[in-house]
Amino acid sequence: MSMTQILAPHLPFLRRYARALTGSQSSGDAYVRAALSALLSGEQALDADTPPRLALYRLFHAIWSTASGQIDDEEGGPEPEGFDAEERLQALSATRRASLLLTAVEAFNLSDAAYILDETPEAVEKAIVDAQSIIDRQLASRVMIIEDEPIIAMDLENLVTELGHQVVATASSRAEAITKAHREQPGLILADVNLGEGGSGIDAVIEILESFDIPVIFVTAYPEKLLTGERPEPTYLIAKPFLPETVQATVSQALFFHPANRKAA
């Protein structure tokens, strides 16, 4: 089996991680491409004694930590006015964010996350606690949930409320979502991709974003379909069925990186 065949099943999820870590699809995908280029050119190699997924994430981190800030996305350009990324990144270091995402979103255990980051398990555990503490102090938002399954919508509402956010609206169709978004003006949207007879959650979000600049997290049973790296795709994805810690980490990253981040009134 070729190296490409071995790594192919893991690439969508590496893209998911890279996008959440960097805060954008274009930047995250650029780092993934850089890691793969280094591997295919022979500049870097995977540890033959390590499971492929684990070795791939470690390789990605070696590239990212070395070149962070030097590999730009295709869009380029300055950060939006009012986006104090430097201040927030100083408060929440790369290791803290990476530790949180590797364990909560990518489901690595402490030992594997430590291997990826070249840290001790104890250091990773402390980084996770520190990261969540900092995020919880700094970020709170008004949330809208777009979901046609009442039980899933209720689960999401309970989770984000426990995280300190305020759920200001829930919607089960495209039309309802657009109406409520304009009325409530949320600071974060959690949206199902397929709303059944209610239409497309993606279409609802596209129309909402024509009026508001807010972070969006898509919730889907088929995340790999939105992680191809071949077209404009969501930066933040939560796979169904989801774990509370996955929702917590993804919501935190979406709010952390968004230029319009603000505390709820």
CA–CA distance, 98 with 178 (Å, rounded to integer) = 34
Average pLDDT of the residues in 80-107: 67
pTM of the predicted model, to two decimals?
Answer: 0.66
Q: What is the distance in angstroms between the CA of the first residue and the CA of the last residue of the chain? A: 56
Strands, sheet with 166-171, edge to edge from the N-terminal-most edge strand: 166-171, 142-146, 188-192, 216-220, 237-239
Q: What is the dihedral of CA 110, 111, 113, 119, to 10 degrees?
A: 110
Domain locations along the chain: 3-135, 139-257
Confidence (pLDDT) at 192 = 94
Report the mean per-residue pLDDT for the chain. Answer: 84
Class at the top of the CATH hierarchy for domain 3-135: mainly alpha
CA–CA distance, 265 with 259 (Å, rounded to integer) = 17
Does pLDDT of 149 surpass 90?
yes
pLDDT band at 136 (very low <50, low <70, confident <90, very high): low
Confidence (pLDDT) at 133 = 75
Whether 3-135 and 139-257 share one fold: the answer is no
Average pLDDT of the residues in 96-107: 90
Does pLDDT of 15 surpass 90?
yes
CA–CA distance, 12 with 193 (Å, rounded to integer) = 17
Tell me if 169 sits within 8 A of 179, measured CB to CB. no
Average pLDDT of the residues in 130-155: 85
Domain 139-257 adopts which CATH fold? Answer: Rossmann fold (3.40.50)
Confidence (pLDDT) at 232 = 66
Dihedral (CA of 111, 113, 119, 125) sign: negative
Confidence (pLDDT) at 162 = 87
CA–CA distance, 235 with 218 (Å, rounded to integer) = 9
Task: Dump pLDDT digits (tens) for 152-177.
Answer: 999 999 999 988 899 999 999 999 99
Average pLDDT of the residues in 61-90: 53
